Amino acid sequence: MKETVLITGASGAIARALSKKLENSYSVRFLTRKKEAENEFEWDLENNIADEKAFENVDHIIHLAGANISEKRWSEDRKTELIESRVKSANLILEYLKQQNIRLKSFISASGINYYGTITSEKIFTENDPSGHDFLSNVVIVWENAADRFKTENMAERVVKIRTAVVLSRNDGALSKMMVPIQLGLGSPIGSGRQYMPWIHINDICGIYEFALKNTAIEGAFNASAPQHATNKTFTKTIAEVLKKPLFMPNVPGFMLKLIFGELSSVLLEGSRASSEKVQKAGYEFKFPDLKKALEDLLNKQKHEK
């Protein structure tokens, strides 16, 4: 009999791709705002309720739910939403497990590479480094604390926290946004262009979740960032090269981004490297460790599908 995996954040690109990887080996369910399929169950964070049937005989939970960090300017209300969508949702799951006296084999939570702070430095951060002190690092801290409760309150045998870099996927997220000006011949690095952009191919982030799910020795925090590091300038130039587009525009000034995006601009203008050595030593082998090959895989597939 297949073990049951419950995934939150059902509408996201990672959840969709991950479920396809898992469905042959596991019985996959989703917690979602609006039920559209037999294996989906509704929850309502505003009213703190969820369909109890979602948790029946569940073995593992992969918690991917969370409002998009870079979708809107960070008003105070938006900041609250960014935190609550992660923490309140985890706490709601925990309470339902307690009510039904269900102890998970594993609780695997998304987390953010911004744990170390939204800064540009020459340091390569490892999981042993302390957290940063800005808004995004604080979001990740409380996010991970909410995940750790499943272990400290004995509701899961183990907890894994996947500190995720920028996920490159074909039609979603950062890559699709960066491609548009480059395709129009208007692409350019932003700010100094020297800030690092930790990244990971969607196949690898799903692969790491699958690896963490299947390997019971895996526990704690892991950086999910490709081994090859790239600055914003390198990233932009590589996209242009793969798309065979010229790149001659001057860098987008940082002050313009600050005017447009406010505090959110720090996500675009700052960034440091993160080591993936821990997850590799644990046994995970990256399918796309090289940026150019990752982009060729995603962008060439996109061309063929049009």
Task: Give φ, ψ of 158 to 5 degrees.
Answer: -150, 155
Residue 225 confidence (pLDDT): 98
- φ, ψ for residue 200, nearest 5 deg: -155, 135
Higher pLDDT, 255 or 155: 155
- Which neighbouring-strand residues pair with 222? 162
In-domain check, residue 240: no
Q: What share of the chain is helix, strand, coil (3-state, %, to 5)?
A: 45, 20, 40
Region 179-185: what's the mean pLDDT? 86
* pLDDT given at position 3: 97
239 found inside a domain: no
Q: Which of 30, 27, 59, 60 is nearest to 43 (CA)?
A: 30
Indicate which CATH number applies to the domain containing 181.
3.40.50.720
Q: What is the pLDDT of residue 305?
A: 46
Alpha-carbon distance of 306 to 301, in angstroms, equals 9
Evaluate whether residue 251 is within a structural domain. Answer: no
d(C-alpha 52, C-alpha 55), whole Å:
6
Pairwise CA distance, residues 303 & 305, whole Å: 5
Is 245 within the bounds of a domain? no
**Which of 51-65, 82-96, 260-274, 283-297 comes out lowest in average pLDDT?**
260-274
Mean pLDDT of 96-106: 96
Distance of alpha carbon 30 from alpha carbon 8, whole angstroms: 6
Whether residue 301 has pLDDT greater than 80? no
183 within a domain of the structure (yes/no): yes
For 251, which DSSP code? P
Report d(CA 184, CA 243) in Å as an integer: 11
- CA–CA separation, 180 vs 177, rounded Å? 6
pLDDT tier for residue 297 given thresholds of 50, 70 and 90: very high
pLDDT at 302: 52
Which residue, among 44, 72, 65, 242, has the nearest Cα to 146 in the 3D structure? 65
Token duo for residue 226: 């490709």
Tokens 């699958």 -> residue: 210
What is the pLDDT of the chain when averaged over all its residues? 93
What is the pLDDT averaged over residues 284-291? 98
Domain containing residue 162: 4-231+262-305
In a domain, 256, yes or no: no
pLDDT band at 266 (very low <50, low <70, confident <90, very high): confident
Closest CA to 207 of 189, 186, 194, 224: 224
7-29: pLDDT as tens digits: 999 888 999 999 999 999 999 99
Give me the torsion for CA of 289, 306, 173, 127, rounded to 10°. -10
Q: Choose the weakest-confidence range: 75-84, 86-95, 212-221, 259-268.
A: 259-268
Residue-wise pLDDT for 131-153, tens only, equals 999 999 999 999 999 999 999 99
Instruction: Specify if 26 maps to a domain.
Output: yes
Structural domain count, the chain: 1
DSSP state of 283: T
Residue type, 174: A
Answer yes or no: is 169 within a domain.
yes
253 has pLDDT over 60? yes
- Report pTM: 0.94
Structure tokens of 172? 């979603």
